[in-house]
Amino acid sequence: MPKVKGKKRPRQQLQEGRANGILFNTGAGQHILKNPLVVNSIIEKAALRRTDVVLEVGPGTGNLTVKMLEKVKKVIACEIDPRLVGELQKRVQGTCLANKLEIKVGDVLKTDLPFFDACVANLPYQISSPFVFKLLLHRPFFRCAILMFQREFALRLVAKPGSKLYCRLSINTQLLARVDHLMKVGKNNFKPPPKVESSVVRIEPKNPPPPINFQEWDGLVRIAFVRKNKTLSAAFK
């Protein structure tokens, strides 16, 4: 196996999925969406406008990015891996799309989000939960987010009371947004394929938001769900 420059990564986290010689770090959620039909379907469901500024997290080699650049005013792509930043820059270099692309290098969870109208992303799955709530607490409000998640996480987002999947994530997300499961995406649509199935979800923030202190509310819900088999009175005692 060739050496990867920069920070050392556990051998088991690297898989033989390559694009232009890049060895993807699956431990960091690098699974590139390769099926153009799925890419086009995601963009169609986002209903993007010519005047939109779109936030993308984890653009990878740019399969989704390039298609969006053809339809919108600007794409702000957040990428933590400098190798993939280079690939994305090379892909648009010398084209009319280059001036419409802004790349932010770094950890999206540790940086302030810019202004954007819509968020469209094939997210690294390990940041799914913190990114969803960073997104929903972002101001000013955005119109919608079309996001790829691990299937089980997506089903928890849309779970209803009484379902075995209904949890703190379901309550908090649905408190702040309207959430819809749009489509299933099989593992073979990615390179390298992940070990899990995926789903695309639409999230539309509620504007105005509910008049509550979210941190206090989340603390209450956390206590209620810490042991799901307990009664609420027992949990609070």
Q: Is the peptide bond before 208 cis (omega within 30 degrees of 0)?
A: yes
Residues whose CB is less than 8 angstroms from the CB of residue 14 and which lie 6 or more positions away in sequence, other chains included: 1, 4, 23, 24, 25, 26, 27
The H-assigned helical ranges of 47-115 are: 63-69, 82-92
Q: Is the peptide bond before 211 cis (omega within 30 degrees of 0)?
A: no
The H-assigned helical ranges of 71-194 are: 82-92, 128-136, 151-158, 168-176
CA-to-CA distance for 137 and 140, rounded, in angstroms?
9
- Residue 232 assigned as binding residue: no
- Residue 33 assigned as binding residue: yes
Angle between helices 168-176 and 214-225 (to 10 degrees): 150
- Residue 35 assigned as binding residue: no
- Residue 181 assigned as binding residue: no
- Residue 79 assigned as binding residue: yes
CA-to-CA distance for 65 and 54, rounded, in angstroms?
10
> For residue 8, with 0-12 CB atoms within 10 Å meaning exposed, 13-18 middle and 19 or more buried, which class applies?
exposed
Using DSSP's 3-state secondary structure scheme, residue 149 falls into: strand
| Strand ranges (E), the chain | 14-19, 22-25, 32-33, 53-57, 74-79, 101-105, 118-122, 144-150, 177-185, 190-191, 198-205
- Residue 138 assigned as binding residue: no
Q: Known binding site for S-adenosyl-L-methionine: residues?
A: 31, 33, 58, 79, 107, 122
Q: Known binding site: residues?
A: 31, 33, 58, 79, 107, 122
